[in-house]
Amino acid sequence: MLATYAPPLGASAYRAGADGGRSGGEDAGGADPRVSDSADDSAGDGAWLRLNFVSSLDGAATREGLSGGLGRGGDKRVFDLQRRWADVVLVGAGTARAEGYGAMALDDEAVAWRRAQGLAPHPVFALVTGRLDLDPASPIFAEAPVRPLVYTVASAPAEARSALSAVAEVVDAGETSVDPAHVRADLAARGLLRIHAEGGPSLFGAFLTAGVVDELCLTIAPTVEGGSAGRIAHADAAAPTDMRPASVLLSGDGELLLRHVRA
């Protein structure tokens, strides 16, 4: 039976402190994957699918159109450590475009830590897109240490499919929209069990609706934004999903670092 990987947010790595938890503990790599009991394996596929978001106190997922303005030191530390843990980093095309994603290449320290854990040097970068509106010449692909995966739909534009197929593995995962269950199953079949998703809201909404989310890590930034920014999950239909709190930590930057797993 495949192992199930529980979340790695060891308290020692995220201890509240004057430096925002950045000093870490003996597992400052933060990504010691703990093998959990099978009860945690909601889909029975051995995979664990985590999403990570930052939000303001009043629920804004962005400031001036980007998430980066909300997060502080603790959030950035968590963001880096979660990538360190992952077999695959999953991102919606909207976030990749808006946030100007580059290649999914970790720094030398992270690579050394991963090698010591027996992990591949870098996680696979997996993108979700219906329109395939991604530039094959962008650093996402041109500088990728590992050939990225692109999950798309059968009806995607043929020209874009052909261009992206030269630089990535393009996988059909639905007819007109990407089926999150298909994505999860395909990643699990590839042995990419530690699935770390960095958003964005449309991807989260779709994955929540499909019932394939195991964990939400949410940084509550100590700011009230007002305005009209959206929330961290968005879909046409609501999908109420009970979550169980697993840890609550306060960073030295005043951020609440929340971790909830599926109830």
Q: What is the contact mask toward ligand NAP in residues 8 to 47, using x (rule: CB under 6 A)? A: ----------------------------------------
Binding of residue 128 to ligand NAP (CB under 6 A): yes
CB-wise, 47 or 160, nearer to ligand NAP?
A: 160
From the list 3-11, 39-47, 51-59, 244-252, the region that binds ligand NAP by CB under 6 A is 51-59
Residues 6 or more apart from 19 whose CB is under 8 A from it?
73, 252
* Encoded tokens for 173: 């995962």
Q: What is the contact mask toward ligand NAP in residues 137 to 176, using x (rule: CB under 6 A)? A: ----------------------------------------
Q: Which sign does the torsion angle of CA 152, 157, 158, 160 carry?
A: negative
Binding of residue 95 to ligand NAP (CB under 6 A): yes
Question: Which one among 232, 233, 250, 261 touches ligand NAP, defined by CB under 6 A?
Answer: 232
The CB-of-232 to ligand NAP minimum distance in angstroms stands at: 6
Q: Is 157 helix (H, G, I), strand (E, B) or coil?
A: coil
Alpha carbon distance 263, 247 (integer Å): 14
The CB-of-131 to ligand NAP minimum distance in angstroms stands at: 4
Binding of residue 65 to ligand NAP (CB under 6 A): yes
CB-wise, 4 or 251, nearer to ligand NAP?
A: 251
Binding of residue 62 to ligand NAP (CB under 6 A): yes
Q: Which sign does the torsion angle of CA 88, 230, 102, 176 carry?
A: positive
The CB-of-1 to ligand NAP minimum distance in angstroms stands at: 29
Binding of residue 223 to ligand NAP (CB under 6 A): no
Alpha carbon distance 242, 237 (integer Å): 16
Burial of 219 (0-12, 13-18, 19+ CB in 10 A): buried
Number of residues that bind ligand NAP (CB under 6 A): 30
Burial of 209 (0-12, 13-18, 19+ CB in 10 A): middle
The CB-of-201 to ligand NAP minimum distance in angstroms stands at: 4
Any bridge partners for residue 44, and if so which? none
Binding of residue 200 to ligand NAP (CB under 6 A): yes
The CB-of-228 to ligand NAP minimum distance in angstroms stands at: 12
AA letter at 26: E
From the list 18-26, 86-94, 162-170, 186-194, the region that binds ligand NAP by CB under 6 A is 86-94
Task: Give the angle 159-162-167 at the CA atoms, nearest 5°.
Answer: 135
Q: Please, are residues 94 and 202 in contact by the beta-carbon 8 Å criterion?
A: yes
Closest CA to 93 of 195, 177, 154: 177
The binding site for ligand NAP (CB under 6 A) comprises: 53-55, 61-62, 65-67, 92-95, 98-99, 128-131, 133, 177-178, 198-203, 206, 232, 234
